[in-house]
Amino acid sequence: MKRILLAAAAVALAVFGIRRLVIALAADETRIGWLIEDMVEGFNERHAGEATSGLAPDWRHEDLEGRGLR
């Protein structure tokens, strides 16, 4: 039983490590694509925080700036 738990923990750790490695070695274009996909998914699920997660926190639309709206 102990061996099974150790094997399961080793597999889980390996999967986590490989996933982190893939993310770390991904090209910038790929990371941007993932970010945009997450934003689209958040928009479709009506989660404002996820839909705007790729924008700078201090970004404001130019039209709102001109009208004095913030």
Specify whether the CB–CB gap between 27 and 36 falls below 8 A.
no
Specify whether the CB–CB gap between 4 and 18 falls below 8 A.
no
What value, to the nearest 5°, has the Cα angle with vertex 32 and ends 35 and 64? 70
Q: Using one digit for the tens of pLDDT, what is the confidence trace for 16-69?
A: 999 999 999 999 999 999 999 999 999 999 988 888 888 888 877 777 665 655
Q: How many CB atoms lie within 10 A of CB 44?
A: 10
0.85 exceeded by pTM: no
Q: Using one digit for the tens of pLDDT, what is the confidence trace for 29-42?
A: 999 999 999 999 99
* Separation between Cα atoms, residue 7 and residue 12, nearest integer Å: 9
